[in-house]
Amino acid sequence: MIRTDENIGKTPERNTLVIKLDRDRPDPEKLSFCANVIKRGGLVCFPTETVYGLGASAFDPEAVKNIFRAKGRPSDNPLIVHIDSSDKLPLVCSGGPEQLEKLDLLSKAYWPGPLTVITDRDPAVPDIVSCGLPTVGIRMPDNLIARELIRLSGVPIAAPSANLSGKPSPSTAEHVIADLFGRVDVIIDGGPCDVGVESTVLDITGDVPQILRPGAVTLEDVVRVLGKGELPDWKKSPKEGESPRSPGLKYTHYSPDAEVRIYDGKDVDVIRMAVAREAERLTAEGVKTGVFTTLEGAEYYDGDKLTVIAAGTRDDLITVTHGLYAALREFDKRGAEVVLAEAFPQEGVGNALMNRLFRAAGGCVINADQQN
C-alpha cells in the first residue's frame, strides 16, 4: 500500500489498486478488470487528454453518489458524462433536431477531444449526475485508455476531475494518488495528460452557443464550426441571488494553499520587473515566495532565494497550461506562502490558462504598469 502525506494515519475507506497502463497499447486484460470494477458500481480513476477523471457508471446513482463522497464534492456541482463513440449519444442526450445538428458538427470537428457539450438530458441519466439540472454535459475523450475503458464497461462513465474538491485538477497519476488513494477502487496510471487543464464546456441549448468554461477548444474554434458563439466575461462574478450558468464555476477550485497573485501589464518585461521587485521585498520580510513563469522568464528571477517554476513557452501557450496544475501543487510541496504569477495574453487557449490562474488567485490581479 502506498502511503502519501495526506493519508498517513487515516484508515483507508477502500483498498486502492494502482494499475500502470501503456497509453498507446493498454493491456486488454487489465483494462477488462478496470471495466468490471465500473460495471459492479466501483470507482476508477483514469487518464484523459485534459486531466485525470474519477469515474463510475453514469447509469448507477449509488456509484455516482460515491464519486461525490470520495472527492468531498458539493452536491450541486454536476459531472460530465464520457462516451467512447457518437453511437452512444442517444443514450444520454434528448435534444431536438437543432441541438443534434450542432452536436453532429461539433463532434465531427472536435471529438474525440477536450470539448464538453451541454445538451438536454435524457431521463435515463440519473438526476444526481447533473445535480437535478435538465441538461447534461457530454464528452468523448481523446485518450485510448479512457475510450477503451468506457467501451469495455458498456455504459457511459460519469466523471469529474480526480482531485479532492478544492485541490488543483490532477494532470499526473501521482497527483491522483496524493488526493484519492484509499478513497477509490482503482487508479490507472497512464502517464501525464497532454492538455493539463479541464475541457472547454459549451452550452448549445440556447440560440447562441455559450462557452461556460474556456479550454483548449477556443471560441474561434466554436465559431468556425457553428457560425456563432460567445465567451461571457468569466472575470465577473454572478450578481447576488443570480445562479451561475455553470454551477461548478462558483467554487474556488484550483486553488493551492499558497496565496497566488497575478501580475498583468502591457509588456512582459514590465511584468517581470514588478514580480522580481515584489519577490525581493517579500523575501526580505521572511515570506517564502514562489514565482510562476515560462522558460524564457526563468533567468529574470533569483532561483537561490525564490521557488521559481517555469512552465512551457510564451510562444505556445498550450505548453504553459500543460504545466500549470503541476506547478501549483509543487509550490505547495515546497512550502511557498505567496506565489507571484506572470499573466498571459487572453487569446485562444490563453483564455483557459488565465481563467484557471485567475481562479487560483481568487481574482487577485495586480497591474504591473502602475508598479514601476
Least separation in angstroms between residue 146's CB and ligand AMP is 13
Do the Cβ atoms of 261 and 338 come closer than 8 Å?
yes
Secondary structure element (H or E) that encloses residue 129, with its range: helix 127-130
Name the residue with cell 478544492: 166
Least separation in angstroms between residue 205's CB and ligand AMP is 9
> Site residues for Mg ion, window 150-169 (CB under 5 A)?
160-161
Q: How far apart are CA 35 and CA 155, in angstroms?
A: 10
Least separation in angstroms between residue 78's CB and Mg ion is 11
Q: With binding defined as CB under 6 A, does residue 264 bind ligand AMP?
A: no
Q: Return the range that interacts with ligand AMP (CB under 6 A); candidates 59-67, 228-236, 244-252, 348-356.
A: 244-252
Residue 118 contact partner, candidates Mg ion, ligand AMP, none, CB within 5 to 8 A by sort of partner: ligand AMP
Q: With binding defined as CB under 6 A, does residue 246 bind ligand AMP?
A: yes
Q: How far is CA 245 from the centre of its chain?
A: 18
Which residues of the chain form beta strands (DSSP E)?
A: 17-20, 44-46, 53-57, 80-82, 115-120, 135-139, 157-159, 186-189, 200-203, 210-213, 259-264, 289-293, 307-310, 338-342, 365-367
Nearest to Mg ion of 187, 275 (CB atom):
187
Do the Cβ atoms of 343 and 264 come closer than 8 Å?
yes
Burial 300-322 (b: 16+ CB within 10 A, else e): bbeeeebbbbbbbebeebbbbbb
Name the residue with cell 484519492: 180
Least separation in angstroms between residue 253's CB and Mg ion is 5
Nearest to ligand AMP of 74, 348 (CB atom):
74
Q: Per-residue x/- mask for ligand AMP, residues 179 to 218, rule CB under 6 A? A: -------------------x--x----------xx-----
Q: Per-residue x/- mask for ligand AMP, residues 114 to 153, rule CB under 6 A? A: ----x-----------x--x-xxx----------------
Nearest to Mg ion of 161, 218 (CB atom):
161
Interface with Mg ion by CB under 5 A: which residues? 160-161
